[in-house]
Amino acid sequence: MRCLIIGSTGPIGAAVIAALEKVGHAAFGLSRSAPADGDGGQAHLIADRSDPQSILAAIRAHRIDTVIDMIVYTEDETADLVNALDGAVARYTMISSCDVYRNYGLLLRRETGEPVREPMTEDAPLRQSRFPYRGDTARAADDPERWRDDYDKIPTEAAVRRFSGEWTILRLPMVYGPGDRQHRFRWVIAPMLAGVETLTVPTAWADWITSYGYIDNVAAAIASAAVHRDATNTIFNIGDYPAESHRHWVTRFAQAIGWTGALEIGPAPESPLAQVIAALNLDVPLTISSGRLSERLRFAPPVPLDEAIARTIAAERAQL
């Protein structure tokens, strides 16, 4: 199958290309500019997602069967693209997020009520609030973060479901590993590599349970679902291993690094981590079930957890 990955220069997009090529599909990356290293290869295409006709031209020129859209942010832009591609490709695959669920609204304190405590299936309640990253005042028109004011995966998912051909929606957890621009586990890896005697972690953060996904496992799941006949017109959660509290993650990283210091769990009001999480209601879990993916597509994550942790440590070590 001939696949076009929109937003291929990001770490997940690049991993999806590798996963597709590994199982014999032709993968074409597409972005507004060439990769930073200047070596996009012959299969890298230049076009602007906000210009649907340029995407359509690329699809026709390279006889694309399915599109995997990694950078779905706003409803209007997505609706324009989906409408332009309707009838031009067999399937449109949207990369969504577990932030669509109501638990995320509770986590941000934008909603009230009782959260879902068990891992959420694709049928779990969605947020009633909209635009989770919109503040009280609009960002300036020239602010590079302006798009965040209109970001919301819920209405964009609705736009994709109006595609008359085949569609697939994939809701991702927090993705970690090499290339993770948010360095989701640097808070534990960096101190351990530095040899601190005591690692102080706020209680709420230590006890919080959320779903993570290792980048290569997430990419393999995307690649599988985007071309699988049993993924047609279906929403899937993507995750790899059962969610654990951050206490357990600390133990796993300590074992992998060989760190023998002490873990101190407490209020830690002065720690940078405590300040980052202060606005969140960490009594709300953000765990998702990927049972539909594993059962319907027979998908299993290819990278074992111990190896994922080792690769993540190596990537952080190289940047510290």
Digit-coded pLDDT (tens) for 243-293: 999 999 999 999 999 999 999 999 877 787 888 899 999 999 999 999 999
Q: Where are the domains of the chain?
A: 2-181+211-243+289-302
Cβ–Cβ contacts within 10 Å for residue 245, how many?
A: 15
| Of 76, 70, 121, 107, residue with least CA distance to 92 | 70
Cβ contacts of residue 129 below 8 Å, gap of 6+?
Answer: 105, 110, 111
| pLDDT score of 110 | 96
Mean pLDDT of the chain: 94
Q: What is the pLDDT of residue 271?
A: 80
CA–CA dist 19, 228 (Å, integer):
14
pLDDT in tens, 49-64: 999 999 999 999 999 9
pLDDT reading at 39 higher than 60: no
- Integer Cα distance of 101 and 273 in angstroms: 24
Higher pLDDT, 171 or 276: 171
Q: Shortest CA distance to 29 belongs to which of 213, 294, 12, 158?
A: 12
pLDDT for 38: 52
140-166 average pLDDT score: 94
Q: CATH classification of 2-181+211-243+289-302 is 3.40.50.720, yes or no?
A: yes
Q: Which of 155, 105, 150, 153 is nearest to 125 (CA)?
A: 105
If you average pLDDT over residues 167-180, what whole number do you get?
A: 98
- Full-model pTM: 0.95
Considering only CA atoms, which of 31, 34, 40, 33 is closest in space to residue 7? 31
In angstroms, rounded to a whole number, what is the distance separating the alpha carbons of residues 3 and 20? Answer: 8
Q: Is 256 helix (H, G, I), strand (E, B) or coil?
A: helix
